[in-house]
Every structure is written in C-alpha cells, then in structure tokens.
Amino acid sequence: MSRPAGTASAPAPGRSRRRSRGWIATVPLLAFVAIVFGAPLVVLLGGTFVRQGQITGENLAESLQGAYLTALIGSVKLSATVAGLGTVIGTFLAQAIVASRLREAVLTASGVLANFGGVPLAFAWIATLGNSGVVTRVLGLGEHGWSLYNFWGLTLVYLYFSVPLMVLVITPALDGLRPQWREAALNNGASAWQFWRYVGVPVLTPSLLGGVVLLFGSAFAAYATAAAMVGTTVPLVTLQIANALTGNVLIGHENVALALSLDMIVVAGLVMAVYLPLQRRSARWLR
C-alpha cells in the first residue's frame, strides 16, 4: 500500500527538497514521543533498580513476593478469565448478528460500549447489583450472600466492555468465512459441526487468539473501574501500583511501584508480542 514518493518523472532537485522537508515534519512528533513517553519509561526502568540511592534488585524482588505477587497473579487470573469468557460470548454474539438485520445497530452499539470503561461503568453496576443496587433489592439477592465486590463481580463488569470489543474484532473475520466454503462442505456431506470443526474454527483461529490477547490487555490495564468498585478487596496489580504511588508503602520502598509497573509492562508486552503477528495473519481473511 505504500507508494513511492513522487513519480519517476519528478525532477531530481524538487524531489530532494521535498524529501528534506518531509524528514523535518516528522521530527516534532518523534521528539515529543521520545521526551514525553520515552523519558518516563527510562526513569521507570532506572528507578526500578535504585533503592535509597543504591543500585539493587531488591525492588524487583519485592515486587514478585507476598501481596504484590498475589496482586500480579490476581490481575493475570482476572484478565485471563475475562478474555476467555469474552472471546466465547463475543464470538457467539457476533455470529448471531453477522447476517441479520440487527448487524449495523449492534456493531454501532458495540463501538460505543467497547469504550464504556472507567468510573461510570463501575457506578452503573454498583447501582444495579451493588449492596443497595436496584436488581439486588428487587430479587433479594443480598439474603443469598450476593456481593458484586469480588473476583466474579469484577469479571461480570469487565465483560461489559470486553464482549463488545470482541464483537468488533471478530465480525470482520466472520465476514471472511465465505458462504461458498460452507456450501462446499455441506455438498461434500459435512455436518454443521464438521464444518465448524475443520473449516470455520481453523480459519478463525488467528482472529480468535488476537481477540483473546486484546481482551486480556484491556482487562489487565484497567484501573478506574476496579478502583471505583472494589477498592482493594480484590488483589490487582494496578491497585497495588496506585497504592504504592500515593505513598502507601514503607519509607524507602517507593520504587516498588516502578518495579511493579515494569512487571506489568513485561506481561503486557509479551501478550502484545503475540497479538501483532497474529493480527497481520488474520488480516489476510479480511480481503
């Protein structure tokens, strides 16, 4: 898709002048990112290995122990659960609407709901299923020991933006499943199950895995919803970082927040490293 600059017939001086201009126009953006984005990351990396003026691995070691380790595992568990459930539910929902009249409406709604995160989402659910939420009161869930403020409650809330995200990701891939393939399979005597088992799911696999990774990443990075909803009752690494950043640590251990951040970046980076090649692979089916 990239187009060579200029055309072959362009006179050389003009082209070279334009090239130098072009080079200059990218400088502000690259410099901005290097300073505003790069500097904090470099400081974060450096600060991870400094405690009270000395270079040490203690921060990193501490961030992988005790409550911090529990929080990191808790975040990974929550994100993996949300990603797994969100992928399955989102795919079924997408398949249900992909060829129906509701398609456009559901896709537009998904585009909106996928961005519905943060604080308002938490409050909407607290008003619905919180301790004095409307549905909790109407159904008398409180007497049955219902609580929104735990692992599964948070999963339920996170799915609210994860499922629409999955619908957006998987619908183009479902469009890529040509009706001819299905017809060919059925003509050769395949059952619907066999079609999905041997044709549909293998074709969709890159997109499905890409969706899992995307959902994992967005749930892993989410902070606002969890902070507004559960406080610290569910151990999550983002909540621990926020805690440590606001000074809720032993004196001299402030940089544990940076070490935890580094842990997070490593996990998110590994997960994204899987996603990007997969996305390229699944892009083949979008044509």
In angstroms, rounded to a whole number, what is the distance separating the alpha carbons of residues 224 and 260?
17
Measured from the CB atom, is 93 or 208 closer to other proteins? 93
Residue 186 lies near other proteins (rule: CB under 8 A) = no
Measured from the CB atom, is 182 or 281 closer to other proteins? 182
Buried b (16+ CB within 10 A) or exposed e, 5-24: eeeeeeeeeeeeeeeeeeee
Measured from the CB atom, is 15 or 197 closer to other proteins? 15
**Least distance CB 119 / other proteins (angstroms):** 5
Tokens of 249: 């640590």
- The residue from 59, 155, 218, 282 that contacts other proteins (CB under 8 A) is 218
- The residue from 82, 170, 213, 227 that contacts other proteins (CB under 8 A) is 227
Which range in 10-18, 62-70, 141-149, 200-208 contacts other proteins by CB under 8 A?
10-18
Tokens of 155: 């999963």
Residue 150 lies near other proteins (rule: CB under 8 A) = no
Residue 5 lies near other proteins (rule: CB under 8 A) = yes
Cβ-based neighbours of 116, under 8 Å, separated by 6 or more: 160, 161
Cβ-based neighbours of 169, under 8 Å, separated by 6 or more: 90, 207, 210, 211, 214
Q: What is the dihedral of CA 255, 257, 258, 263, to 10 degrees?
A: 130
Residue 207 lies near other proteins (rule: CB under 8 A) = no
**Least distance CB 138 / other proteins (angstroms):** 9
How many CB atoms are located within 10 Å of the residue 199 CB? 17
Half-sphere exposure of 77 (CA within 13 A, CB side): 13
Count of residues that bind other proteins according to CB under 8 A: 105
Tokens of 82: 């949300």
- For residue 55, the SS3 value is strand
Contacts (CB under 8 A) with other proteins, residues 245-264 = 245-246, 257-258, 260-262, 264
Residue 223 lies near other proteins (rule: CB under 8 A) = yes
- The residue from 74, 241, 278, 282 that contacts other proteins (CB under 8 A) is 241
Contacts (CB under 8 A) with other proteins, residues 17-56 = 18-26, 28-30, 32-33, 36-37, 39-41, 43-44, 47
- For residue 56, the SS3 value is coil
- For residue 188, the SS3 value is coil
Contacts (CB under 8 A) with other proteins, residues 50-89 = none
Residue 13 lies near other proteins (rule: CB under 8 A) = no
